[in-house]
Structure formats: structure tokens, C-alpha cells
Amino acid sequence: MLTKRIIPCLDVTLDSEGGTVVKGVEFFNLRHAGDPVEFAKLYNEQGADEIVFLDITASHEGRATMIDVIERTADEVFIPLTVGGGVGSVEDVRQILRAGADKVSINTSAVKNPNLIKETSDIFGSQCIVTAIDCKRNTNVADNSDKTILTLEDGTPAWYEVVIYGGRKPTGVDAVQWAKKVVELGSGEIMLTSMDRDGTYDGFDVPVTRAVSESVEVPIIASGGAGNPQHMYEGFTSGKADAALAASIFHFGEYTVPGVKEYLKNHELPIRI
């Protein structure tokens, strides 16, 4: 079994200082957490397996990703760095990789122009291209027989709808079917975020995480809702994810990366300590 990865996520917005880490609930009501470069240094020292840096308002604000902040962050970390937010072209991907990122996450632009995944993976390699899928539960199944209908924890049937622009716009696209398509186009990894669970501390959205994990053969990063190490264990076991992403529990000091890893190792999961 491949080693499971623990990935702190830096959700960053542009401010007068250049960039600040924030965290909200269901993508909204953001509260400030601190400087992205300092967080990156801390998580690198704590033994995180990777770091994800997301410029979460770039697409909504119609601007490019903060290259200078990425450069400063990349200078401080010696583990893989994935960067996303406002990525809309081959040139955007090139600039982010040149700034020091190892992988680039594409979200809104991929939904609007799926061929961007193929173009970028052909040029830079599929290992560099992560498709971020933000999705939200939709219990209107009567008129959506063409969707992948899953059973929620309480027995309710639902499908998961892809949302873009930081959760501001529903697309009508089925998340499980979209995951299959992006892999066919060349995406080497999927970062799957349940908007319903984001920032809630209620645990990962297991039904959709498991469905996507079982539908494709690339690594799946579970995202949205981690409140404790047990939730990460469930994401790996019940959700069948390859990596677990978390923000709030690390940023606000509730748990540390080494503490989470020790818990998972004690529960017999393959973890790099």
C-alpha cells in the first residue's frame, strides 16, 4: 500500500500585505490566520508531506495568481508545493512552475475549458497537473437521472454538483463524471473538496470521496471538513483517499502534523514519519 499523505492547505487572499492565509466555512465568512510564508515554513519543519497553496479569490476577482508570494513560499519549503487559483492558460501554469511550484491546480478554468487540462498535461506532464473539483450536495434527483446518484449517511439519495468561482456558481456538472473526464484528459491527481463540509470540522464527505476514488486510478486528495485525526483515518479507509488535506485544525493550533501522523501510524496506516 502506498504511503498516505498529510497536506496542510494555505487558502490565501490578496491584501495590503501582499497575501494572507484565511479560513472560512463552506467557502465564506473568512477569518484571517496569518502569513502564508511563515505557515509554509512551519509545516515544512513539522514534516508535512506536501503543501497546497490556493489563491482562493483570484478566479472570482479575475486576476492572476500571486507569483511573488509563491516565490517566497517556495523558497522556504523542501517538500512538494501545489499552487492553484486564477490559473487560466498554459502560460499561467508555466509561470507558477517557474516560481517554484511542483504542481499546478486547475479548477474553474478547467470546467470552462476542459482542453486546458490536456494542453497543460501534454506540455508539462500529467504529474504536474492537479484538477481541483469543488462540489456540493444536490438532493434533487428526480430530474437528474443522468447523474451519479449516491446515498448519503442518513440514506438520502443525492448527486454532487461541481461549483466554480470559489463556490459561487453551480454548473450542473456531476462531480463523479467530471472526475472521470479530467483523468481521461490527462490530469495526474484530483483534489476533491466538499463545499458542504468545508470548515465545518464534521469530517470529510465520505460518499463522494469514496465514489470518486473508486471511479479513477489517479490519487485523490480528500478536502473539506477535517476536524481531528479520526476524520483523516475515515477519509483514508472509508473514503479510500490517497491524501488528506486540512487547514483549520493546523492553522489554529488544534493539532500538529506530527500528532496526526502518529495517530494514523498507531492505527496501522502507512505514514511517513
E strands along the chain, which residues? 5-13, 20-25, 28-34, 51-55, 81-84, 103-106, 129-138, 150-151, 157-164, 169-174, 189-194, 220-223, 243-246
Query: What residue type is 212 in one-letter code?
Result: V
0.85 exceeded by pTM: yes
Bridge partners, 272 (sequence order):
none
Which domains can be identified in the chain, with CATH numbers?
5-266 (3.20.20.70)
Convert the pLDDT of each residue in 48-94 to its tens digit.
999 999 887 666 666 566 788 889 889 989 999 999 988 999 999 99
- 151-191 pLDDT tens trace: 999 999 999 999 998 788 999 999 999 999 999 999 999 99
Q: Which amino acid is at 46?
A: Q
Residue 209 vs residue 85, higher pLDDT: 209
- Comparing CA positions, the residue from 224, 221, 231, 220 lying closest to residue 248 is 224
Catalytic residue (one of 35, 55, 134, 174):
134
Provide the pLDDT for residue 105: 97
Q: Which residue has the cell 499546478?
A: 104
Indicate if 75 belongs to the active site. no
Q: What percent of the chain has pLDDT over 70?
A: 89
Look over the chain and give the mean of its residue pLDDT values, rounded to a whole number.
90
134 catalytic residue (yes or no): yes
| CA pair distance 236, 175, nearest whole angstrom | 19
Give 153's Cβ-side CA count (13 Å radius). 8
Among 11, 55, 174, 198, the one annotated catalytic = 11
